[in-house]
Each structure stands twice: as C-alpha cells, then as structure tokens.
Amino acid sequence: MHSVLVQEKDFSVQDEWIACRERLEGKAGAVVSFIGLVRERSDTGNVSSLYLEHYPGMTEASIERIVVKAQQRWSLLDVVVIHRIGELQPEDQIVLVIVASAHRADAFAACEFVMDLLKTEAVFWKKETGDEESVWIESTLDDVSRSREWQE
C-alpha cells in the first residue's frame, strides 16, 4: 500500500497521519515520519524563497519507483509521500514521508532510504532566491553520496 502526491498546496501532517492510521487497521507496530522544511539559509547564503519545478507525470513516476524499491527491500505496510512544488518560503513544509511497518527497524530504514533517494532520483529542479539573485541549484555531493550508500 502506498500513495504519492505532488502538489502546490501545503499538507497537514495530522490529517495524513489519521488517514494512514485508519488504513493500517491495527497491523502496524511502527510508523516513522519525516517532514522536510525550507531552511532560511543554504550553503550559499540567505534564502528568501525556493521554487520547485516538476515534470507532471514523470516526477510522480520517479517517486513511485523509489517507493517500490523501498517496498522490495523492507517489509512495509504503508508508504506515503507528499512533495510540494511551486514557490516556497523558509519554514514552509516541503516534503512528507510516512512509512509504516510491523517492526521499527524496517520503518526507520525505509523512511531514510526514501528520503535519500528523493534527494537524488526524484525529478525536480530547484531554484533558490537569495538576497540578490536566483540560482538553479544542483544536487549536493553529500546528497549523492548518501544515496549511493544504499546501493553498496
């Protein structure tokens, strides 16, 4: 069981959790969630806004592939991914990942795995606006190495 959503509007962690909990019907023993936020500072300076562009259809499919990989690797009961697009400001929620499993080890590992792969394999382009200019950014080396570690 899983769901992938790419949307402009904000999400409610509480609403998503309530819906997830109902779907689990008592089978889960562990749920791990991750919420990503827009930071007010990046490696290059202050961030006044972050713009996320996606390719409708292809982006959703790229996230589905990541979720399916996680489901093949661990025993999972539910995976929820909501990723926002468009113009975001510091403090805004940008991504939600919820992973449910019978035991906590699977949920912890799979949640981190999904997040690490989202940073490198999901089809998004990000543009950061700082104090003066807007720059299209690239995956950081740290993101790439974290993603690679799962392949070893």
The residues that touch other proteins, with contacts defined as CB under 8 A, are 36, 52-53, 55, 57-58, 61, 63, 83, 94-95, 118-127, 136-139, 143
Q: Which residue number, 138 or 149, has a Cβ lying nearer to other proteins?
A: 138
Q: Which residue number, 40 or 138, has a Cβ lying nearer to other proteins?
A: 138
Q: Which residue number, 11 or 124, has a Cβ lying nearer to other proteins?
A: 124
- Rounded to a whole number of angstroms, the minimum distance from the CB of residue 78 to other proteins is 20
- Rounded to a whole number of angstroms, the minimum distance from the CB of residue 140 to other proteins is 9
Listed in sequence order, the DSSP H helices in the chain are 13-24, 58-73, 104-121, 141-149
The Cα 87–Cα 84 span in angstroms is 9
Q: Which residue number, 100 or 117, has a Cβ lying nearer to other proteins?
A: 117
**Nearest alpha-carbon partner for 67 in 35, 26, 98:** 98
- Rounded to a whole number of angstroms, the minimum distance from the CB of residue 138 to other proteins is 6
- Rounded to a whole number of angstroms, the minimum distance from the CB of residue 31 to other proteins is 21
Neighbour order of strands in the sheet with 2-7 = 2-7, 78-84, 93-101, 30-37
- Rounded to a whole number of angstroms, the minimum distance from the CB of residue 127 to other proteins is 7
The Cα 54–Cα 136 span in angstroms is 13
The Cα 116–Cα 122 span in angstroms is 10
Q: Which residue number, 21 or 92, has a Cβ lying nearer to other proteins?
A: 92
The Cα 99–Cα 59 span in angstroms is 20
